[in-house]
Amino acid sequence: MLKCGIVGGTGYTGVELLRLLARHPHAEVSLVTSRAEAGRPVTDLFPNLRGHLSLHFEKPDLDRLQDCDVVFFATPNGTAMKEVPALLEAGIKVVDLAADFRLKDPAVWEQWYGMPHACPELLQEAVYGLPELNREAISRARLVANPGCYPTATTLGLLPLLKHQLIDVEHIVADAKSGVSGAGRKAQVGSLLAEAAESFKAYAVPGHRHWPEIRQTLSQFIDAPVGLDFVPHLLPMIRGIHVTLYSYLTSDCDTLQAIYEEFYRDEPFVDVLPEGSHPETRSCKGANDCRIAVHRPRNGNTVIVLSVIDNLVKGAAGQAVQNMNLMAGFEERAGLDIVALTP
């Protein structure tokens, strides 16, 4: 069995990793760290894991982490970059669920995250962990930068259009909405029930940290700059991301549906819905799926793509396990063959 360590196991992505790995046929969690909860049974904090996990939280310790085959960092931005070099030197593979290794330019990282990068020499080596884009590179990687939730839904929605050069790449709009769990498991006023329920708002309109990540990925894919307006919103629900993408067609195309179906035909976790569909976030709840629908209203020159995921699964922990499967040579769906919850 592949031995997995989780650094920072008390957040929402941490417990999702525990939930998914608890049923994995070829991997087991051997270590979960938390400075604040060290010594406490994991199931005291997460009773849903009773009967599936018997570990206690431990303080982070490099020697203990080096007993693992792969280490997941489910930590705040800026933590993994301080510890990853020593793990890599010891031969441990790493999947970072934070943003420490997503951006290739250390100056851009510092601009958006407000701190110098601790190991800029690893930024070019780190593989961006979107399997639908970088599957072969991920399978050879020792360090994977797990994508953000908004970037996952947005990028998957746009790739077929970019591959076939069908849209005006200087004018792309991503209108994105997320459930409250996307803000993390921490005490803050904006996440309180009385603040977030029965309300709906945009935030970070002048600039969101996921904007440079999305733009970098799309620009690398077509080897040209991409113009992107990205506006996130907070939805009064716990899980889910819904991204509505807008752009202009550069030529007449009446085969959009076929193009999307062909592009994702062999992808185990991307579901292109029938023509005219409107995907719902609940259709992905708890599962590692991305569901996509493409529309061309009134047969005009505007193309609209609807993309939905569970922000904690395909947008975080599920994608991290998918990356681990590729890095370890496992079947890609191992531990992830989950039917979404309804209602």
How far is 162 from 156, CA to CA, in rounded Å? Answer: 11
How far is 51 from 67, CA to CA, in rounded Å? Answer: 24
Q: Which of 84-98, 190-204, 278-292, 317-331 has the lowest mean pLDDT?
A: 190-204
pLDDT at 173 (0 to 100)? 98
Domains of the chain (ranges, CATH numbers): 2-125 (3.40.50.720), 150-311 (3.30.360.10)
Residue 190 has pLDDT above 90, yes or no: no
pLDDT at 188 (0 to 100)? 82
Q: At what angle do helices 149-163 and 131-140 cross, to 10 degrees?
A: 110
pLDDT at 226 (0 to 100)? 97
pLDDT digits (tens, 9 = 90+) for 86-134: 999 999 999 999 999 999 999 999 999 999 999 999 999 999 999 999 9
pLDDT at 187 (0 to 100)? 75
Closest CA to 97 of 312, 305, 281, 299: 312
What share of the chain has pLDDT > 90, as a percent?
94
Residue 285 has pLDDT above 90, yes or no: yes
pLDDT digits (tens, 9 = 90+) for 243-282: 999 999 998 999 999 999 999 999 999 999 999 999 999 9
How far is 306 from 281, CA to CA, in rounded Å? Answer: 11
pLDDT at 44 (0 to 100)? 96
242 CB burial (10 A radius; 0-12, 13-18, 19+) = buried
Contact indicator for 232, 204 with CB cutoff of 8 Å? yes
Closest CA to 173 of 187, 186, 161, 190: 161
pLDDT digits (tens, 9 = 90+) for 17-55: 999 999 999 999 999 999 999 999 999 999 999 999 999
pLDDT at 195 (0 to 100)? 86
3-state SS string for 177-235: EECHHHHCCCCCHHHCHHHHCCCCEECCCCCCCHHHHHHHHHHHHHCCCCCEEEEEEEC
What six digits make up the tokens of 225? Answer: 């700059």
Phi, psi torsion values for 186, nearest 5 degrees: -140, 155
Q: Which of the four pLDDT bands, split at 50, 70 and 90, describes residue 194? A: confident
What six digits make up the tokens of 239? Answer: 């899980």
How far is 11 from 33, CA to CA, in rounded Å? Answer: 11
pLDDT digits (tens, 9 = 90+) for 199-232: 999 999 999 999 999 999 999 999 999 999 999 9
Write out the catalytic residue numbers.
Answer: 149
Residue 186 has pLDDT above 80, yes or no: no
Tell me whether strands 241-248 and 290-295 are parallel, antiparallel or unpaired. Answer: unpaired
